[in-house]
Structure 1
Amino acid sequence: MKITTATPADLQRLLDFRMEAASWISARGSDQWSRPYPADRLLATIEAGTVFMLRDGKRTAATITLTSEAEEGLWSDEELSEPSMFVNKLTVSRDYAGRNLGGELLDWSGDRAYRAGAKWLRLDAWTTNARLQRYYLDQGFQHVGTVLEGGAINGGPRVSGWLAQRSTRPTEPNFTDETPSPQPFRT
């Protein structure tokens, strides 16, 4: 397997990934990702070079987004003063479930963040998805807080405000990394 930077040609596959994941999550009783993700927003992240695809030959096994930009309203000014990178949209194809590809992508992200000079690998997870939160805790993340207000449509509760982080660290991925070297973190 190899990891590459996503291209605009991957847009439909990424949208399909999200629909597949939403259906699987819904069958387990969560409303996470129940709204379609706007294609234009996803295309913008692809064009920014922050979306990565784990490929198995011509098949896509998983995807992850890794950015130095925090979602507005989640992290405190003090937290944002620390060099950090943020994981979003980690998704593994159901055909590849149970192989720890999500854990490997998190380790790869932590290594990439480390090489960029970041101290923390951070993420926000669905506030009501206890299984997902447990997954991240099992991957070595520590829960640092939950943001329940602001940022949601019509002023309702934030749906993805469970915050976690772990220290960045060097690792060797179990796949070939064909991505460009990460840009150094700017303080």
Structure 2
Amino acid sequence: MRPAAAGDQDPIADMVRARCAWMRERGIPDWPRTEADVRIVASQAADPHFPVWVLTETEQIIGCTTVFTKTPEWGWTPEELQESALFLASSFTHPDHRQHQPGRLMAWWALDRAARDGITWVRRGTFVERLMAYYRDVQGWHLVHTPQRKGRTAYLMARRAEPIPALAELVKDSGAPLG
């Protein structure tokens, strides 16, 4: 895992296109829907306001996620907002590498990194119920809130940060600062 760079925009766009096509083939609602949406996601790799991290395998980008060091204010209680947390957003993985479970590896990296950095929680959200169920049932996230956001149900989830001892054998952390 390493911070994304401006030169990662095209590989990220290719990965997002592949993921969206894979999801459409399975009838899973997807976003981004248009090429303009894909370019917005990819352009975040070059935007200092979007702390995008990439998971690579022999230099090929097989996953990306945005790792905010602050939880978005909407949908969380004032008490929760006072707790230290990382917030994962805009996570995508390449479907050709799903046998390695890159989404799980990125989540484990975030949980482990947060624990090493003294952060209490890792949070994430999605608008896709099937994705929420996967995060909950397969990856062990806890559904915390289901607020309405822009006319849609948001599924806000959390896990307490924890060391993942086996992770060091699976994912190399660049050690770059999170924020």
Tell me the TM-score normalised to structure 2 length.
Answer: 0.83
1:136 aligned partner: 135
Cα shift at 1:7: 0.5
User: In structure 1, the residue corresponding to 2:148 is in which secondary structure?
Assistant: coil
1:38-187 alignment runs, 5 A limit: 38=40, 42-43=44-45, 45=47, 47-48=48-49, 50-126=51-127, 129-137=128-136, 138-149=138-149, 152=150, 157-158=151-152, 161-172=154-165, 173=167, 174-182=170-178
For 1:94-142, what per-residue CA distance to the aligned partner results, in whole angstroms no more than 9, with x for missing partners?
120122221121111011112222211100012xx33211211121111
* Per-residue Cα deviation, 1:62-93 (whole angstroms, up to 9, x for no partner): 22221113334232222111111101122221
Q: Report matched runs for 1:2-17 at 5 Å.
A: 3-17=1-15
Residues paired across the two proteins, number: 171
Q: Which moved more, 1:54-63 or 1:67-76?
A: 67-76
**Residues 61 and 96 of structure 1 are in contact (CA less than 8 Å); yes or no, is this contact kept in structure 2?**
yes
1:80–1:143 distance in 2 versus 1, CA, 3 Å: same
Q: Helix, strand or coil: the match of 1:98?
A: helix
1:22 aligns with 2:20: yes
Identify the range of structure 1 (79-88 vs 12-21) with the bigger mean alpha-carbon deviation. Answer: 12-21
Partner Cα distance (1:82, 1:97) in 2: 33
Deviation of 1:162 after TM superposition, in Å, equals 0.5
In structure 1, list runs of 5 or more residues that go unmatched: none
Which aligned segments of 4 or more residues in structure 1 are displaced greater than 4 angstroms? none
The answer to whether the 8 A contact 2:45-2:52 is kept is no
Q: Going by fraction, where is helix more abundant, 1 or 2?
A: 2
1:8-38 residue CA offsets vs partner (Å, 9 max, x unmatched):
1111222222222222222222332025152
Q: Which moved more, 1:164-173 or 1:56-65?
A: 56-65
Contact conserved, 1:5 with 1:49, CA < 8 A, in 2? no
1:14 to 1:72, Cα distance in 2 relative to 1, 3 A: farther
Q: Which runs of 5+ in 2 are unaligned?
A: none
TM normalised by structure 1 equals 0.80
Once superposed, what is the RMSD of the aligned Cα atoms? 2.3
